Amino acid sequence: MKYDFDKVVERSNTASVKWDATEELFGEKELLPLWVADMDFKVPDEVVKAIQSQAEHGIFGYTTRKPSYYEAIIDWMKDHHNWVIEKEWICHSPGVVTALNLIVQAFSKPGDKIIVQPPVYYPFMKAIQNHDRQVVYNPLLFNEGRFEMDFEDLISKIDSSVKIILLCNPQNPGGRVWTESELKRLGDICLERGVLVVSDEIHQDLVFKPGKHIPFSAISEQFADNSIICTAPSKTFNLAGLQTSNIIISNKALREKFVMEGDKYAVTMSNSFGALATEAAYNYGGQWLEEVLDYVEGNLHFITKYFKSNLPVLKVLPLEATYLAWIDCRELGLTPEELEKLFLSKAKVALNQGYVFGPGGEGFVRMNLACSRSTVEKAAQQMKEAIIQLRL
């Protein structure tokens, strides 16, 4: 392997949210942070070189996006996802969460309903509630350790006040890669009933073999015409701090409305370092990504085997995508508050608690595996010791 992900990179005192804000956010000292979804891995070498070159230039004025920036995105989507897109479709947002808030405001009005499929990335709910829209839950079914969509429930929840469904594809936190048949069923339901599909595909590149991500709008022209696809290099290449996302909208009317909403809040300008990093990552980061996926899968195998042998009360769900393990802790018989206290106060491990992801998340935790093996091993040992003490 070209990259050494076993090497621990010191992130404390670097203004890292994950490492430097954990005590403030969780209220406990000396926590091992395995919560927020960024990696403890250095980015591809070519990304560092691109940023260094720009820094050496010494001028950081207002920046546009070069033709080569768009070409890198177009080539990546074609080569990695068999998805042919055009330059004009690519719109800018500082982040996917920013885009979700803009979309909610642009394509619905206060009082309208927006559907989510919990347990799901919790900023979905915030983006709806922030702007006085109604959250409508279409909970995922949990079938033998695997999440599935409940289409009958979805149909029953759609009425004339439902304007949007926020789809998480691949799914976070459950780690599902939705199949083409699942996406077609959902797309047909929404198309027939006039519901706009907004697909968060930020984890599209973090899919384990033999899985294959299917961009929602690549399925058909009709689906493309009724969808907005949210992408970014941030999760794929650990670039979240560079505030660069690409919102892909082939429908001209939808695109113009989205851009107009972004202009209202002046969030469409480019971050020069973010644009350069995105271009370099998409052009040269393929090998780095392959090695990251192999390493994270190794972490997943370790934690699954460790809990099965030493802590069978905790069950790691099979993971098809993302670097975020979804762990079933319900056999402990604890309330969400007790579970949270156990891991924070006793195990000294900061995890995302499942209840924040909405109905169906209670009794689960989300663990970030994009870190060194030694960090995962330490977390597992501390969790084991805490649970042993709990049961004495």
Looking at residue 391, what is its pLDDT? 79
Query: Could you say which DSSP state residue 89 is in?
Result: G
Strand-pair category, 364-368 with 324-328: antiparallel
- Determine the pLDDT at residue 392: 62
* Cα–Cα distance measured from residue 233 to residue 73, given in angstroms and rounded to the nearest whole number: 9
At 1 the pLDDT is: 81
pTM: 0.97
Q: What is the pLDDT along the chain (392 residues), one digit of tens a residue?
A: 899 999 999 999 999 999 999 999 999 999 999 999 999 999 999 999 999 999 999 999 999 999 999 999 999 999 999 999 999 999 999 999 999 999 999 999 999 999 999 999 999 999 999 999 999 999 999 998 899 999 999 999 999 999 999 999 999 999 999 999 999 999 999 999 999 999 999 999 999 999 999 999 999 999 999 999 999 999 999 999 999 999 999 999 999 999 999 999 999 998 999 999 999 999 999 999 999 999 999 999 999 999 999 999 999 999 999 999 999 999 999 999 999 999 999 999 999 999 999 999 999 999 999 999 999 999 999 999 999 999 76
What pLDDT is stored for residue 119 in this prediction? Answer: 98
| Cβ atoms within 10 Å, residue 362 | 17
Q: Please, what is the end-to-end C-alpha distance for the chain in angstroms?
A: 44
Tokens at 299, concatenated: 């972490």
With beta carbons less than 8 A apart as the criterion, state whether 288 and 44 touch.
yes
Q: Which run of H or of E encompasses 230?
A: strand 227-231
